[in-house]
Amino acid sequence: MSESLSLSAIADVAETLAREAGELIRREREQNTLRTDYKHQTELVTHADVMADEFITDAIRQRFPHHRILSEETMPDLSQARELDTPLWIVDPIDGTVNYAYGHPQVAVSIAFAERGQVQAGVVHAPFAGETFRATRGQGATLNGQPIRHSGASDLRQSLFATGFPYTKDNLAPLLRRLDAMIHQCRDLRRIGSAALDICWVACGRLDAYYETVSPWDFAAARLIAAEAGATVGHFGTVPEGYPEDLWGQDIVIAAPEIWPRVRDLLRAASGYA
């Protein structure tokens, strides 16, 4: 396949791979006994994570041999996010691995395509829900082919937000301060267990806001989808100079535009940022 495809064609490739990987992980969970392990001593990983990662990355390498790949399981070298010379694919084969291992449906395959640090196309496929979120830059966002839009929330006290927590529990105090600030100012919290779906749910109006610190493969595709659905995307902390904002995963905040500044300010204050 040519490497000079249009963004729409690139998104088609990403969607095809996400759907096929989704079928693979669905079949693995339904037909086999899951094999699990831990990476970094605390983070659960399943055999299906690795299988899906290898399936996606092998297919990308075959089609686009000169592109780079940043994937959670087989190529997790975060320094690639700063290398802007060649196109980069960002892959999460199973976002929501703990959900996957426990039989929960909130699981997604996430594939993004970036050029010079800017994400141009993204697909998040939820195989158990049968939902595919997709966006290309400047072309809007869709869910199963239908256009989506953020909730339009304007009152923070009537807003539903989501966040997540790291597997390591040695530095929870700042996260609990942020949670305390948000839960006192919002309608309620939802803890879904998949950052990609959290963000896509903001994109389609099921949630009004989301914040967290995550890795590029968790959010790159969904962030574009939310932006193309009209949500405001950014950070409540500082993005290091020279680092692509689309791929900086610390202190992310994504929300309906009218409440975004208030959410950012609450999180900054709770974090002690000047």
Site of tokens 């980069």: 88
DSSP code of residue 192: -
Q: Which uninterrupted H or E stretch holds 101?
A: helix 97-102
- Residue 2: per-residue pLDDT: 41
* Under 8 Å between Cβ of 186 and 39: no
Q: Which two tokens stand for residue 220?
A: 């790159």
* Lowest-pLDDT range of 44-53, 58-67, 130-139: 44-53
Q: What is the mean pLDDT of the chain?
A: 93
Q: 265: annotated binding-site residue? A: no
pLDDT band with cut points at 50, 70 and 90 for residue 274: low
Q: Residue 191: enclosing H or E segment and its boundaries?
A: none
Do 187 and 160 touch, CB atoms closer than 8 A? yes
Q: Is 37 annotated as a binding residue?
A: no
Do the annotations mark residue 72 as ligand-binding? yes
Residue 198, annotated as binding a ligand: no
Question: Who contacts 73 (Cβ-Cβ below 8 Å, separation ≥6)?
Answer: 45, 49, 50, 53, 54, 93
pTM across the whole model: 0.94
Alpha-carbon distance 168 to 41, whole Å? 9
DSSP, collapsed to helix, strand or coil, labels residue 189 as strand
Q: Which residue has the tokens 């610390």?
A: 250
Contact between residue 162 and residue 189 where contact means Cβ atoms under 8 Å apart: yes
115 near 220, Cβ under 8 Å? no
Average pLDDT in the 126-136 region? Answer: 98
For residue 236, give the DSSP letter.
S
Question: Is 94 known to sit in a ligand binding site?
Answer: yes
At 193-207, the pLDDT tens digits run: 999 999 999 999 999
Does residue 247 come out as left (phi exceeding 0), alpha (psi in the -120 to 50 range) or beta? alpha
Q: What is the pLDDT of residue 46?
A: 81
Identify the structural domains of the chain with CATH numbers, from first to last. Answer: 7-147 (3.30.540.10), 156-271 (3.40.190.80)
